[in-house]
Amino acid sequence: MTTAAPAPNSETVPTDTPLVGIIMGSQSDLKIMTAAAELLRQFGVPFELTLVSAHRTPHRLVEYAENARKRGLRVLIAGGGGAAHLPGMVASFTTLPVIGVPINSATSIHGLDSILSMLQMPAGVPVATVALDGAANAAVLATQILALNNARLQDALEKYRTSLKDKVMRTIEELRKGGLNDD
Ligand code: RP5
């Protein structure tokens, strides 16, 4: 009887192996989805970014989703607008966590179409849907998943949270100096 090798985790996979796959339905989604790439780069999470369209390249979708785990990917971030079927269909071909980013695309009815397409998944095949155009939060969530067994990423997330707090505190201080807040 052969014993299957243990699945690599975020600490055993070589650091140059992408752990997060960022995919999106169209080049028009790039302007939103680059926020996820920028944040993952800031956290030091290896990622890849490419286009996979549920409707225009359906066979590529199947191939990407079915091979994602064996290529070393651990979390998928999928963005789409309009009839945003990409995250849901990807989730149906893999048991990796899939984070969906509904996009307010030019063709959409203010993004409500994307949100509803992505959100209402059937029981058993979830997509963790973030806010409309919420690519940055998708990157934070992906990093939180990877940080479950990675102390360096936990540290990076703590520092990020501190930077958010510091920004608020700086603004409060500026308001105080300007006489607009006398807390
Ligand atoms: C979706 O349709 C894409 O994710 C995009 O948000 C939207 C519009 O695509 P384009 O017509 O701009 O390529 O599949």
| CATH assignment at residue 127 | 3.40.50.1970
What gap in Å lies between CA 11 and CA 181, rounded to an integer?
46
Residue 52 lies in a domain: yes
Model confidence band, residue 183 (pLDDT cutoffs 50, 70, 90): low
pLDDT given for residue 181 in this prediction = 72
Residue 29 lies in a domain: yes
Identify whether residues 59 and 30 lie together within a single domain.
yes
Task: State how many domains the chain has.
Answer: 2
What gap in Å lies between CA 119 and CA 88, rounded to an integer?
9
Identify whether residues 120 and 166 lie together within a single domain.
no
What gap in Å lies between CA 26 and CA 19, rounded to an integer?
22
Residue-number span of the structural domain to which 43 is assigned: 13-149
Spatial contact of 69 and 96, defined as CB atoms under 8 Å apart = yes
Going across the sheet that includes 47-51, the strands are: 47-51, 20-24, 75-81, 98-103, 128-129
Indicate if the pLDDT at residue 22 is higher than 50: yes
pLDDT given for residue 6 in this prediction = 40
What gap in Å lies between CA 141 and CA 139, rounded to an integer?
5
* Nearest-CA residue for atom 13 of ligand 1: 26
Identify whether residues 115 and 167 lie together within a single domain.
no
Model confidence band, residue 108 (pLDDT cutoffs 50, 70, 90): confident
Please give the model's pTM, rounded to 2 decimal places: 0.90
Indicate if the pLDDT at residue 123 is higher than 70: yes
Does residue 182 have a known ligand-binding role?
Answer: no
Whether 25 lines ligand 1, by a CB cut-off of 6 Å, is yes
Closest atom of ligand 1 to 85 CA is: 14
User: pLDDT digits over 93-103, tens only?
Assistant: 999 999 999 99
- Tokens standing for 35? 């926020």
Identify whether residues 115 and 179 lie together within a single domain.
no
Pairing verdict, β 47-51 and 20-24? parallel
Identify whether residues 89 and 157 lie together within a single domain.
no
Residue 100 lies in a domain: yes
Q: Could you tell me the distance, in angstroms and rounded to a whole number, from the CA of residue 175 to the centre of ligand 1? A: 42
Does residue 56 have a known ligand-binding role?
Answer: yes
Spatial contact of 32 and 103, defined as CB atoms under 8 Å apart = yes
**Cα–Cα nearest to 71, from 116, 120, 11, 8:** 8
Residue 40 lies in a domain: yes
* Nearest-CA residue for atom 5 of ligand 1: 81
Identify whether residues 75 and 132 lie together within a single domain.
yes
pLDDT given for residue 107 in this prediction = 81
Whether 134 lines ligand 1, by a CB cut-off of 6 Å, is no
Whether 102 lines ligand 1, by a CB cut-off of 6 Å, is no
Whether 103 lines ligand 1, by a CB cut-off of 6 Å, is yes
Identify whether residues 85 and 175 lie together within a single domain.
no
Residue 1 lies in a domain: no
Identify whether residues 127 and 164 lie together within a single domain.
no
